[in-house]
Structure 1
Amino acid sequence: MPTSGTSNMVSSADVNGTEVYGRDGVHIGSIDHLMIDKQSGNVAYAVMGFGGFLGLGEEHYPIPWNKLHYDTAKQGFVTDITADQVEGAPARTDDWHRDRDWERRTYDYYGVAPYWI
């Protein structure tokens, strides 16, 4: 993800494809896309591609945005979420992004305050 000047702004296009690492430095996945709340403008989730090989068999998991912290040295995001936690997250339905109950369970599961509060 390119950084230049003093701006804290970044294009969502630059976030897509950015690598995600655990605090231990192990690669967990990469950002596939972001989910943005239409009314507040808050980034709710980074949907992370996880597992698979060369794009085959990759699963996508929504991770609360505030669980990711950009590390300029790694040029990627660092999180305290483990691969096992990602795999154990609340099951998603086809309309997970419209299901506030699922969102509450997910934010509780990851131990962070919901973006809508």
Structure 2
Amino acid sequence: MQIVLDETHDLIAAEKVDGTKVYDASGEKMGTVKSLMINKQTGQVAHAILSIGGFLGMGEDYHTVPWEKLDYDTELGGYKLDVSEEKLKSAPTFSAEEVTALNDREFEHRVYHHFGTPPYFI
């Protein structure tokens, strides 16, 4: 027997978060959650990878955003991002071809410094 539970009152499966819309403070759609990155040691979500722009999966930019910058909004059915669009656009970014940036600790330092949050790996 297979048990399928992807959401409780306080918890949600990571696979259900993927594809969830992300909005700015005024409720305008900015992009979607592409993936969650979870710390192997603590089990805590470290950051989300957001897909911004593009059309039908082409020309997208990917932004790594500290998880604490996202708040779920039940009315919107998505996450509100606690930064301005300008702040997001000026953040370190990568394309699908540059996904190896996620293996670069210096890239992660730049992301967390940009958003003014302590890195998850301290």
TM-score with structure 1 setting the length: 0.83
Amino acid aligned to 1:46? A
Counterpart for residue 56 of structure 1? 58
Corresponding residue of 1:111: 116
Structure-2 separation of matches of 1:98 and 1:18 = 24
Summarize the alignment of residues 18-37 of structure 1 with structure 2, pairs less than 5 Å apart. Answer: 18-37=20-39
Q: What is the deviation of 1:95?
A: 3.2
Structure 2: unaligned runs, 5 residues or longer? 1-5
- What's the CA shift string for 1:43-95, capped at 9, x where partnerless? 11111110112332122211111110001111100012233322211355653
Instruction: Determine helix, strand or coil for the equivalent of 1:10.
Output: coil
- Aligned residues of 2:91 and 2:114 also touching (Cα < 8 A): yes
**Residues 56, 72 of structure 1: CA spacing in aligned structure 2 closer, same or farther, 3 A cutoff?**
same
SS in 1 for 2:86: helix
Closer/same/farther in 2, CA of residues 15 and 91 from structure 1, 3 Å limit: closer
1:111 and 1:60 mapped to 2: Cα distance?
Answer: 19
Runs of 4+ in 1 over 4 A off after TM superposition: 91-94
What letter is aligned with 1:53? F
Q: What's the TM-score once normalised by structure 2's chain length?
A: 0.80
Tell me how large the CA RMSD over aligned residues is: 2.1
Q: Call closer, same or farther: CA 1:14–1:102 in 2, change over 3 Å.
A: same
CA contact (8 A) 2:27 2:76 kept: no
Q: Number of residues paired by the alignment?
A: 114
Q: Where do 5+ consecutive residues of structure 1 fail to align?
A: none
